[in-house]
């Protein structure tokens, strides 16, 4: 992949974002969700200013990142949980690094002081990506959910719980 740019996700990106989401779901190591949501569900559940896409030189969406709040309580303002997905055809080409770096920058500018993520331990690529961007392992949430589909169907799964605290907004 020679040239990738990062921009804000638009409603018109949804077909490509949904396809990439479905590719992640198919691996069995991206999410407990067994189907993609509708655009309306996705749009309603994600923070508008924290939805980004990676676009290649041809204008094709090759990755996306988005976040949701962890709580509606004011004390948790500035704490988000994020997701990042890269198209099968773009994995291993640095798209995830570009996307996550920009996502961190944009989130810090928006006042986010902690980004959380829960990743299956088998998803070594995602764990390495996050470690390279300053995420630390907080712990393992053992048997947090039972898979309903794919290669892990019927099995209880663990999540590695990660966080990244901002070096910009801090927690004075």
**What tens-digit pLDDT sequence spans the chain (172 residues)?**
569 999 999 999 999 999 999 999 999 999 999 999 999 999 999 999 999 999 999 999 999 999 999 999 999 999 999 999 999 999 999 999 999 999 999 999 999 999 999 999 999 999 999 999 999 999 999 999 999 999 999 999 999 999 999 977 555 4
pLDDT for 170: 52
Please state, in angstroms and rounded to a whole number, the distance separating the CA atoms of residues 136 and 89.
28
Tracing tokens 């794919």 back to the chain, one arrives at 150
Please state, in angstroms and rounded to a whole number, the distance separating the CA atoms of residues 99 and 95.
6
pLDDT for 167: 78
Q: What is the pTM of this model?
A: 0.93
User: Looking at the DSSP assignment, which residues form a beta bridge with residue 81?
Assistant: 68, 116
Neighbours of 67 (CB within 10 A): 25
pLDDT for 99: 98
Please state, in angstroms and rounded to a whole number, the distance separating the CA atoms of residues 8 and 110.
14
Residue 52: helix, strand or coil by DSSP? strand
Neighbours of 116 (CB within 10 A): 16
CB 78, CB 108: distance < 8 Å: no
CB 160, CB 120: distance < 8 Å: yes
């Amino acid at each position: 992949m020679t040239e990738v740019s990062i921009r804000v996700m638009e409603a018109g990106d949804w077909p490509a974002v949904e396809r990439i989401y479905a590719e992640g779901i198919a691996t069995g190591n991206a999410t407990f969700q067994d189907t993609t949501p509708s655009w309306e569900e996705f749009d309603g559940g994600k923070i508008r200013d924290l939805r980004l896409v990676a676009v290649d030189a041809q204008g094709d969406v090759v990755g996306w990142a988005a976040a949701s709040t962890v709580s509606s309580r004011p004390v948790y303002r500035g704490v988000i949980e994020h997701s990042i997905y890269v198209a099968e055809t773009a994995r291993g080409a640095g798209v995830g690094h570009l996307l996550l770096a920009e996502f961190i920058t944009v989130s810090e500018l928006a006042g986010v002081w902690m980004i959380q993520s829960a990743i299956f331990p088998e998803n070594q690529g995602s764990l390495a990506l996050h470690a390279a961007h300053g995420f630390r392992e907080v712990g393992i949430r053992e048997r947090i959910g039972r898979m309903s589909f794919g290669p892990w169907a019927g099995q209880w799964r663990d999540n590695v719980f990660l966080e990244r605290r901002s070096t910009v907004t801090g927690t004075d």
